[in-house]
Structure 1
Amino acid sequence: MDWDDLRIFLAVARTESLSGAGRRLGMDASTIGRRIARLEGAVGAALFAKTPQGYALTAEGARLIAPAEAAEQGANAAAEAVRREAGLTGQLRIGAPDGCANYLLPQVARDLCAAHPGLDIQIVALPRVVNLTKREADMAVAVSPPDTGRLTVQRLTDYHLHLAAHRDYLRAAPPIRDLADLRGHRMIGYIPDMIFDRELDYLSETGVESAAITSNSVSVQMQAIRAGAGLGIVHDFAIPFAPGVELVLPDRIALRRSFWLIRHADDRASRRLSLLADLLAQGLRAEVARLESQLRRT
């Protein structure tokens, strides 16, 4: 059985579509379809059933997953052995919530690429949990540890959040001396039904029941705060990127959360990915500490 056909099979199984597999592999959907048909001919059974939601594995397809993933691990190990002498090279795709992806990972990726010029780093910013089982990324940063799946979890670092607003908003708005004063102010936060992790439910910390301006993106919320649209809970590490944004009631509203590094359990055997995970963890810890220390000095 051809490994390349198995590689295509896994891509379709993980994306549940020919076009999605094609985008992941850099191939057109018609070629993907022909290769799947060839593989089905080789095994003598249909591997996928077309449904309104996409391509679902048949019973025969589900049985092929384990041997296909074993072949994938073997191919990855062989490729890793070939490039080991050349240092850390090749593609690394990192999934992360958009706060981490926007304010932390660009600097970490810069330093990793400077130290290892052969690396190709892709940052996938998603307002949801990255699905490593479907190989949406090689590893992912999350705001809480998963409780299902064949995954390994490593605590990276704590980070802090505070209520903040732009100084232009604060000059024009009624004074804020206590939590009760917030009820007379415009709040900015997450769209309630799009909060994908309980750790992101910040608004309850303020005692205010609803926000006037909401987004599923941390970056959009920060831009609204920078525009003087109101008050919101923001990451301390993001404030150095937002001139004019100031803490509000820092002694009354102070949150602490954690970042976690998530990897597929099968990747523990990869020396390359383990080294990259260690370097990523070190870089994120250092960058959170650096940016939060800037806020403390102001």
Structure 2
Amino acid sequence: MDWDDLRIFLAVSRAESLSGAGRRLGMDASTVGRRIARLEQAVGAVLFAKTPQGYALTAEGGRLIVPAEAAEKAALTVAEAARRDEGIGGQLRIGAPDGCANYLLPQVARRLAEAHPKLEIQIVSLPRVVNLSKREADMAIAVSPPDTGRLTVQRLSDYHLHLAAHRDYLAARPPIGDLADLKAHRMIGYIPDMIFDRELDYLSETGVETAAISSNSVSVQMQAIRAGAGIGIVHDFAIPFVDGLRVLLPDRIALRRSFWLLRHADDRDSRRLSVLADALAQGVRAEIIRLESQVFAAADRFA
């Protein structure tokens, strides 16, 4: 059985489509389909059932997953050993919630790229938890540790959030001296039914039940606040990126959350990924400290 056919089989099982697998592999969908047909002929079984939702594994296909992943791990180990003397290179795909992806990872990626010039860094920002079992990424940053899955979980860092608004909005609105005063203001937050993790339910901390403007994206919320559209709870590490932002009621609203680094359990023996995971963790921690320290060092950040 050809390893390259198994590689294509795994890509289809994870993408659940020929076109999705083709995009990951750099092949056209028809070539992927022919290779799957060849593999099915070699094993003497149908491996996928075509459904309206995509390509689903049959029972025979499901039984092939474990040996295929074992072959994948062996191939990666051989490739890593061959590259060891050449320095760390290849592709590194990092999944992250968009607040982290927008305000932290670009700076961290710059330092990783400078330290490892042969590395190709990809940042995947999704409004949900990245699925490592389907190999959507090599590692992922999450806002809470998962309850299930064959994963290794490492606590990265705490981070903080405060209520904030732009000075232009505050200049035209009634003063805010207490949480009760927020009822006279427009609030900005998450779309309730699109909150994919309970740790993101920030608005409930204010006592305000609904947001006048909402988005499933932290970055869109921040841009609305920047435009003077209302008040929201923002990451402290994002505040230095927006001129004119003011922190409100810091003694009443001061949230603390954590980032977690997730890796597939099969990758724990990969020296390459372990080195990169350590560098990523150190970089994220340092960047949070650097950016958060700027907020409370600037007296004019407080309304």
Shorter-chain TM-score: what band? over 0.9
Listed one character per residue, the Cα deviations across residues 72-115 of structure 1 (whole Å, up to 9, x for unaligned) are 00110011001111111110000000000000000000001001
Identify the residue that residue 181 of structure 2 maps to in structure 1.
181
- Answer yes or no: is 1:82 the counterpart of 2:86: no
- Report deviation, 1:69: 0.2
Identify the residue that residue 199 of structure 1 maps to in structure 2.
199
Partners of 2:270 and 2:282 lie apart in 1 by: 18
- Report deviation, 1:266: 0.3
Partners of 1:57 and 1:277 lie apart in 2 by: 31
Partners of 1:36 and 1:88 lie apart in 2 by: 32
Partners of 2:176 and 2:296 lie apart in 1 by: 21
> In the TM superposition, what are the counterparts of 1:69-218 in structure 2 within 5 Å?
69-218=69-218
Partners of 2:259 and 2:67 lie apart in 1 by: 33
Q: Secondary structure at the match of 1:269?
A: coil
Q: Secondary structure at the match of 2:240?
A: helix
Identify the residue that residue 245 of structure 1 maps to in structure 2.
245
Identify the residue that residue 301 of structure 2 maps to in structure 1.
none
Listed one character per residue, the Cα deviations across residues 153-186 of structure 1 (whole Å, up to 9, x for unaligned) are 0000000000000000000011100010000000
Partners of 2:296 and 2:45 lie apart in 1 by: 63
- Report deviation, 1:281: 0.3
Kindly report structure 1 stretches of 4+ aligned residues shifted beyond 6 Å: none
Partners of 1:31 and 1:173 lie apart in 2 by: 61
Partners of 1:26 and 1:255 lie apart in 2 by: 43
In structure 1, the gaps of 5 or more residues are none
Identify the residue that residue 34 of structure 1 maps to in structure 2.
34
Partners of 1:226 and 1:127 lie apart in 2 by: 21
Listed one character per residue, the Cα deviations across residues 176-233 of structure 1 (whole Å, up to 9, x for unaligned) are 0001000000000000000000000000100100000000000000000000000000
Identify the residue that residue 230 of structure 1 maps to in structure 2.
230
Partners of 1:231 and 1:250 lie apart in 2 by: 14
Identify the residue that residue 221 of structure 2 maps to in structure 1.
221
Partners of 1:212 and 1:73 lie apart in 2 by: 49
Identify the residue that residue 284 of structure 2 maps to in structure 1.
284
Partners of 2:69 and 2:122 lie apart in 1 by: 22
Partners of 2:87 and 2:258 lie apart in 1 by: 31
Q: Secondary structure at the match of 1:258?
A: strand
Q: Secondary structure at the match of 2:268?
A: helix
Partners of 1:86 and 1:2 lie apart in 2 by: 27
- AA aligned opposite 2:50: K
Identify the residue that residue 274 of structure 2 maps to in structure 1.
274
Identify the residue that residue 255 of structure 2 maps to in structure 1.
255
- Report deviation, 1:10: 0.1
Listed one character per residue, the Cα deviations across residues 234-274 of structure 1 (whole Å, up to 9, x for unaligned) are 00000000111110111110000000000000000111001
Q: Secondary structure at the match of 1:123?
A: strand
- AA aligned opposite 1:152: T
Matched pairs, number: 298
Identify the residue that residue 53 of structure 1 maps to in structure 2.
53
Partners of 2:6 and 2:88 lie apart in 1 by: 26
- Report deviation, 1:32: 0.4
- AA aligned opposite 1:160: H
Q: CA RMSD in A?
A: 0.4
**Identity percentage of aligned residues:** 83
